[in-house]
């Protein structure tokens, strides 16, 4: 059936495939300090509706784990963090299984925009490895998001900037890749590792407040 529904709560309220939600990290992640299996804890910063009902309220915890950690070393300069986000804890304490992919990553919202590149970094993935980062420092235009405007996502009233973030520095559903974080990139999803963030020549440090735009995948 078209528009299959994949994320479901205990009361059968579902998130449609393609629905997006913006989250912020509540615990920092570091490719030098963390280990595979360490928890990933984030919080939704907006409510998500499906079939006219609130499925995820603002403030719901989004929980997962690190599926892979590769620190930067002289011998292996490329660092990587594999992230799987697979459940939410609602405000009433109920735990809900979900399946999210990371569509975009950006720094914590700041009053003053950081002095960084406004173009997304991308990475070339390959079977059995993360692959090198392509186009480091070169300008690339993010492709249009086919899921923009899908049910479940509340549109931001802010006008988008060149990188499709709002003027306040918030991610939007049209954002893709790693934005305003020089040297980092998202590898195409790995069936085992989930979403993978890579860095060409330094360790990956994601601070508390780092934004991520999550998407419910098609299956």
pLDDT digits (tens, 9 = 90+) for 51-63: 777 778 899 999 9
Residue 75 falls inside a structural domain: yes
Q: Indicate whether 121 pLDDT > 80.
A: no
Residue 176 falls inside a structural domain: yes
Is 28 or 92 the better-scoring residue by pLDDT? 28
Q: Indicate whether 159 pLDDT > 70.
A: no
Q: Residue 40's pLDDT is what?
A: 98
Q: Indicate whether 178 pLDDT > 90.
A: yes
Residue 3 falls inside a structural domain: no
Nearest to 104 by CA among 145, 71, 64, 133: 145
Q: pLDDT over 70 for what percent of the chain?
A: 70
Q: How many domains does the chain have?
A: 1
* CATH number, position 167: 2.40.128
Q: Which of 70-74, 78-82, 86-90, 104-108 has the lowest mean pLDDT?
A: 86-90
User: Which pTM was predicted?
Assistant: 0.74
Residue 91 falls inside a structural domain: yes
Whole-angstrom distance, CA of residue 109 vs CA of residue 209: 8
Q: Residue 48's pLDDT is what?
A: 86
Whole-angstrom distance, CA of residue 26 vs CA of residue 4: 31
Which tokens go with 136? 């480091």
Residue 57 falls inside a structural domain: yes
Which residue range forms the structural domain that includes residue 189? 18-142+161-215
Residue 6 falls inside a structural domain: no
Whole-angstrom distance, CA of residue 140 vs CA of residue 142: 6
Residue 12 falls inside a structural domain: no
Residue 204 falls inside a structural domain: yes
pLDDT band at 162 (very low <50, low <70, confident <90, very high): low
Q: Indicate whether 33 pLDDT > 90.
A: yes
Q: Residue 172's pLDDT is what?
A: 95
Nearest to 196 by CA among 146, 126, 115, 109: 126
Q: How many CB atoms lie within 10 A of CB 154?
A: 14
């Amino acid at each position: 059936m078209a528009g299959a529904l994949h994320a479901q709560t205990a009361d059968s309220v579902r998130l449609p495939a393609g629905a997006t939600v913006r989250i912020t990290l509540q615990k920092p992640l570091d490719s030098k300090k963390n280990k595979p299996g360490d928890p990933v804890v984030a919080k939704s910063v907006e409510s998500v509706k499906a079939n006219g009902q609130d499925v995820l309220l603002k403030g719901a915890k989004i929980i997962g784990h690190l599926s892979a950690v590769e620190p930067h070393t002289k011998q292996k300069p490329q660092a990587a963090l594999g992230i799987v986000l697979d459940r939410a804890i609602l405000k009433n304490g109920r735990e809900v299984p979900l399946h999210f992919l990371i569509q975009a990553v950006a720094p914590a919202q700041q009053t003053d925009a950081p002095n960084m590149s406004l173009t997304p970094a991308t990475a070339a993935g390959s079977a059995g490895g993360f692959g090198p980062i392509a186009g480091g420092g070169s300008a690339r235009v993010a492709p249009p998001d086919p899921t923009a405007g899908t049910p479940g996502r509340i549109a931001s009233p802010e006008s988008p900037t060149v990188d499709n973030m709002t003027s306040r520095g918030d991610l939007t559903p049209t954002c893709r890749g790693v934005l305003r974080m020089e040297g980092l990139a998202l590898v195409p999803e790995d069936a085992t590792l989930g979403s993978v963030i890579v860095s060409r020549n330094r360790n990956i440090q994601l601070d508390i407040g780092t934004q991520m735009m999550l998407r419910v995948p098609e299956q």
